[in-house]
Amino acid sequence: MDDIVVFNCIGIILNINSLLSPTILVSHYHYMSLLNHPIAGFIIAVLLTGCSLLPDRVDETSGWSAQRLYGDAKNYMHLGDYKKALEYLEKIQSRYPFGRFAQQSQLDTIYIQYIENESESALIAAERFIKANPRHPNVDYAYYMKGLVNFRRNNTMLEKLVPSDRTKTDISGASQSYSDFAELISKFPNSQYSADAHQRMLFLRNSLATYELHVADYYLQRGAYVAAVNRAKYILEHYPSTPTCANALSILAQAYVKMHILQLANDSLRVLSLNYPQFPDLPKLNSMVRAAS
């Protein structure tokens, strides 16, 4: 607004210049000479005074209490106008940086950034709140939101448009999410968010195990038998009792046969038969081990 007024003032001054000296082109020299003209100087002074008297943009929330600002922010959140809600929450934090409304506005900011898919901003805000308010009664919410953000951060737009098997993609978000939920449950076992965190951990655990199984099978199919064995063992050691264990034992048996380590192949097959007698590939594996022997 001020810039527009200044340009208008300059435009008027130049018009005065042309009126006072119609035959003279406006140049720096002539412009400076014009400034010394008594009439021009008077008009310029009036114009500049008028510019300075123009009202600034009025903030309708000026003087509002933190409670009133927060109430309006929550209303905007309920209406789904997160941009406006975030604007009011930021005003609370800048005007009233201490107290319960400032702290609650920080937690709500994390939620809005999560809803708006601003993953990095949400994680930074959650970490900041945890460090600044380690004993806050709702700090468990910040831990929970960290887990939620990482739980969803691998859902890129491409994956939404073209659904894919999450276990075949980058698992860094899933691993971090699992750690975040585990930290929440460890520090706040009675938190209202612990039950949901536990269910998500079960899902993540199965997803991570399935990812490892895909990798183990990938190595097996390409003849990298040592790598396949290592991945299969990793599943059995880190993800016991998951649905992938039977397939991991099957990969172990097949890889050992290919490497002509028949004793370990028989051991793997025996464990598979005892724990998963209904495994559909058992007959084929038995035939494979017998033929190798």
| pLDDT profile of the chain (293 residues), mean per 10 | 42 42 44 52 53 61 85 94 94 90 95 94 96 95 97 58 50 91 97 97 94 95 96 96 95 96 96 95 93 86
Task: Judge contact between 154 and 169, C-beta under 8 A.
Answer: yes
What's the total number of domains in the chain? Answer: 3
Residue type present at position 121: S
pLDDT of residue 267: 96
Q: What is the CATH number of the domain that holds 237?
A: 1.25.40.10
Do 159 and 127 fall into the same domain? yes
User: Residues of 194-215 as b/e, b for ≥16 C-beta within 10 angstroms?
Assistant: beebeebbeebbebbbbbbbeb
Euclidean distance between CA atoms 283 and 273, whole angstroms: 10
pLDDT of residue 55: 53
pLDDT of residue 141: 98
Do 168 and 265 fall into the same domain? no
pLDDT of residue 283: 93
Listed in sequence order, the residues at least 6 apart from 24 whose beta carbon sits closer than 8 Å to its beta carbon are 17, 30
**Structural domain harbouring 110:** 66-198
Task: Judge contact between 149 and 123, C-beta under 8 A.
Answer: yes
R_g of the chain, CA atoms, integer Å: 35
Q: How far is CA 54 from the centre of its chain?
A: 43
Residue 18 belongs to some domain of the structure: yes
pLDDT of residue 180: 97
Euclidean distance between CA atoms 167 and 282, whole angstroms: 25
Do 95 and 138 fall into the same domain? yes
Do 38 and 128 fall into the same domain? no
Do 178 and 248 fall into the same domain? no
Residue 61 belongs to some domain of the structure: no
Do 42 and 12 fall into the same domain? yes
pLDDT of residue 155: 53
Do 116 and 231 fall into the same domain? no
Task: Judge contact between 110 and 101, C-beta under 8 A.
Answer: no
pLDDT of residue 59: 74
Do 37 and 103 fall into the same domain? no
Residue 70 belongs to some domain of the structure: yes
Do 8 and 94 fall into the same domain? no
Residue 238 belongs to some domain of the structure: yes
Do 249 and 164 fall into the same domain? no
pLDDT of residue 65: 87
Do 44 and 160 fall into the same domain? no
Report CA dihedral (162, 166, 168, 170) to the nearest 10 degrees: 100
Do 34 and 85 fall into the same domain? no
Reported pTM: 0.71
Of 147, 172, 198, the one marking the end of a domain is: 198
Residue 206 belongs to some domain of the structure: no
Other CB atoms within a 10 A radius of the CB of residue 19 amount to: 10
